A and B are shown apart, each in its own frame.
Chain A
């Protein structure tokens, strides 16, 4: 079965929703709106457009500096164009355009055989390329400017050289590098322009430049309607390219992107780089599966009681290898969902020991959207528990519960983190530590109730059914879409979900659809 077919199945439950979006005032603008912004595309987004222009699997991201992250996400308004990035982009696009294949589908059919003097074909080519790069149709003036570049590139050379210079021009253009959400600039309530609506919708839902049907809808002004945006989003979700976007969203939401920046002691695991790649692969396949079959169900991500385990990880988990891509139940092994996958457990651990504080904090901040001060914010010295070969990690952290200055936060943090103590620094299941039995009991305050739990699998079940988690998931969607944290808009969006269908409130794809349909997607504060 193909990925596209799977996603279609997943979307059946989501179908077009009824009812209006948020209550509006002020000419359609919601009470709280996001700030108008220029967002430099993430390297992943740059890559996608570069491939749509260059074809041939060209990848620019590897040549560029890594993204800055804000509110955990690489899609954010803090990204900028600095000297290093621009210089490396300049070099990378020069190399990537040295041998263009003009017979590829992204070029008009005339381009493969056109001569340098064929201005008609050149105009058709630059128009097509500019639509992808600018995420909107270019103006006549913009086409003329690009044709000037074409002429210069083709001079004393050939048609391909002209196109190569145009592609370089487009990939370095601020109109390509920045996704704008500035609005129309007209006085009063500030709605995104039709072009901005199309661009944002496509980048947010599929991670791609807008396709022809979306550009057409934008040009007709149809995207000012929330229900039309929703319809287009449902269509875009059926494209296989959206898979990478949601993988990245989940990885960045849960902080799993940090796994690549970690090592493990050779005393814990012998070949961590190989294992790490398998950990990433497991989570990626699992996320694909949950988004494909269950629309990104928050409950399934947390407590689906299955995974898709690569061969390289099977022995680590203590199971037999399965057919590639096949689901395997892990519930008998204490692994309920993504929080018990090795990627999460290894990310939130030290090199040679587990880290109850990091694991507890990850759950509470990323899944419940809570915030905790650092000890140094409170004027407290951090005292790391001394190594003790005769004590468990839990016993070494006992001081947190005894010290009055610490326990205010650590009773909460450690109470969650201890639930994961049956997993070591790499995420390997264990029943003893330092020759002593592991105690995995712990507690969490959830939906206004203090729950005492046996282990992290029980935690995952509780989180999967928590309204607090669902609300945090909705806030994470807003953060990802906005490229920053805006508490008022997050709260307003969460409030707007009351009364929505279960599918819309409890799945990530449902939440993304609700957001693009809402006025918070379409309106910005006046400039």
Chain B
């Protein structure tokens, strides 16, 4: 578990994990007094947002007005749709660069990898969600250490993943709400029929034996494995522990939700006919995710959202949002003049849709009384999508962060760009992790520092 008083990663442990031949520089944490949250945050949600932003409609008006005509952030001040306004629970953060990616040729679509890891393609550290869940023990006491979800593509490829295990391996996402339900809640379904109870007891006994057998095999393999392969086996060991929790069975602190009705989404994959159902799938994934948090199934989740291409959800947008909206976007730039207004308005509609999904997460968190203890971050892999730029990526912070975030603000870090690693440092500190750096880079200077968020 996270201990506020101890250094989470010892120098020796970090060196061991990296191996002697590691080419990346690592800036090791320094112990220093924390400007910490009054109470550490308890829940983490990371969201991938597609296609950067139309800054013209993203930047709040003076006085943090976000409900103006065409505003991308309007869903956060839309009580009629989302039950209440979340204007005071969000921060619109501008001026972050995915600098670790810029230093390691992990840019454009590939920069998704940088969002939560603070590292480029050769990074071996976990993304912040997995760091908190596995390495810091936030997921030790829950049936699942984390819940990694997506909409559309399950591919564990650079451009489709934000969650990475220690060692640098992309984690696969669940894109089917049925699979999400089964993974998160299936173990808690109990058939009271005596025969079923007997079957479950037998299955539990057999499952334990299988786990013992596999654990012994893994230990034997580990004795022969070179140091460079240890992270892989550590991840396997984590998976075994996770499965053990499931086999043993843990009680949950709420009623198990209803299983989604599969007839409502006959396809789930991108380019496999799933697009018309993406809006429903997004909603189901969000509802199941927050229910999993509320039930104590997990404390950590990430969600990789899809765009509106071929969904036919917004008749005002072309069929191919990627090519005909994101690629065609013509920015007015920070000067606010120039560009192509139609392209800006179209990208803002896509942004508005994405933020409506994040507003739904906040609505569900508020209904479950989890909002104050939650750290939610939603980031895109690009700022200006037509340039495939990894600079000035739109960043939405939400939730109470356990008191470490003061909402209702637009924070502009400036056009020169601030490394996104500082956000990751601030996140880990909100969970009580006493470290002042996060990520890996050939340029260690970008890894440390925090953001002023209170």
Can you identify 9 A-B contacts, CB atoms within 8 angstroms?
A: A65-B173, A80-B169, A82-B165, A84-B174, A91-B182, A174-B218, A350-B323, A352-B320, A376-B108
CB <8 Å contact, A174 and B221: yes
Q: How far is the CA of A30 from the CA of B64 in the complex (A)?
A: 66
Q: How far is the CA of A479 from the CA of B409 in the complex (A)?
A: 50
Q: Which residues of B sit under 8 angstroms from A318, Cβ to Cβ? A: none
Pair B328/A87 contact, Cβ less than 8 Å: no
Residue A185 interfacial (CB < 8 Å)? yes
Contacts of A66 in B (CB 8 A): 154-156, 172
A374 to B154, Cβ gap below 8 A? Answer: no
B428: Cβ under 8 A from any A Cβ: no
Q: Using A38-B225, A80-B236, A87-B239 as known contacts, list a sample of 15 further A-B pairs with CB atoms less than 8 Å apart, ordered by residue number in A.
A: A65-B156, A66-B154, A81-B239, A84-B172, A86-B239, A90-B207, A91-B182, A145-B216, A149-B213, A169-B210, A174-B221, A374-B107, A374-B388, A381-B389, A383-B386
Among B183, B236, B320, the most chain A Cβ lie within 10 Å of the Cβ of B236
A-B contact count (CB 8 A): 170
Are A381 and B165 in contact, with the CB atoms below 8 A? no
In the complex the two chains form, what is the Cα distance from A180 to B222 in whole Å? 12
Query: Which of A108-116, A261-269, A393-401, A492-500 is the contact stretch?
Result: A261-269
Q: Please tell me if A282 contacts chain B, counting CB pairs below 8 Å.
A: no
Write the residues of chain A forming the contact surface with B, with a CB cutoff of 8 angstroms.
35-38, 40, 65-69, 78-87, 90-91, 94, 145, 148-149, 152-153, 165, 168-169, 172-175, 178, 180, 182, 185, 260-263, 265-266, 273, 350-353, 373-377, 381-384, 386-387, 527
Q: How far is the CB of B26 from chain A (nearest CB, A)?
A: 21
The answer, yes or no, to whether B69 is at the interface (CB within 8 Å) is: no
Residues of B within 8 A of A350 (CB): 320, 323
User: Which residues of chain B have C-beta atoms less than 8 A from A78's C-beta?
Assistant: 169
Partner of A84, one of B171, B207, B384: B171
Does B221 lie within 8 Å of A178, measured CB to CB?
Answer: yes
**Contact, CB under 8 Å: A83 / B210:** no
Closest to B102 in A: A376
Contact between A387 and B328 (Cβ–Cβ < 8 Å)?
yes
Mark out the residues of chain B between 153 and 175 whose CB falls within 8 Å of any chain A CB in the assembled complex.
153-157, 165, 167, 169-174
When distances are taken between beta carbons in the complex, the residues of chain B under 8 Å from A261 are 153, 155, 270-271
Beta-carbon contacts under 8 Å, B383-426 to A: 384, 386-390
Asked if B145 is at the interface of the complex by the 8 Å CB criterion, the answer is yes
Interface membership of B238, Cβ < 8 A? yes
Interface residue B68 (Cβ < 8 Å from any Cβ of A): no
Chain B residues in 8 Å Cβ range of A165: 206, 209-210
Within 8 A of A (CB), among B303-349: 309-310, 319-320, 322-324, 327-328
Task: Please give the distance in Å from B87's CB to the nearest CB on chain A.
Answer: 34
Minimum distance in angstroms from B215 CB to a CB of chain A: 9
Pairwise interchain contact B224-A182, C-beta atoms closer than 8 A = yes
User: Known interface pairs A37-B229, A169-B213, A182-B224. Does A384 touch B169 (Cβ–Cβ under 8 Å)?
Assistant: no
Cα distance, A386 to B340, chains bound together (Å): 12
- Known pairs A83-B145, A384-B327; A265 contacts B319 (CB<8 A): yes
The verdict on B261 contacting chain A, using a C-beta distance below 8 Å, is no
Contact A84 B214 (CB under 8 A): no
CB distance from B275 to the nearest CB of A (A): 8
| In the assembled complex, B235 has its CB within 8 A of some CB on chain A | yes
Tell me which residues across on chain A come within 8 A of B320, comparing CB atoms: 263, 265, 350-352
Contacts of A36 in B (CB 8 A): 226, 229
Q: How far is the CA of A85 from the CA of B235 in the complex (A)?
A: 11
B387 and A383 form a contact (CB under 8 A): yes
Complex Cα–Cα for A352 and B321 (A): 12
Asked whether B246 is an interface residue with its Cβ less than 8 Å from the other chain, the reply is yes
Question: Are A173 and B213 in contact, with the CB atoms below 8 A?
Answer: yes
Q: Is B451 an interface residue (CB 8 A)?
A: no
Report the nearest B residue to A387, measured CB to CB. B328
Flag if B154 contacts A172 (CB, 8 Å): no
User: How long is the Cα–Cα vector from A173 to B236 in the complex, in angstroms?
Assistant: 11
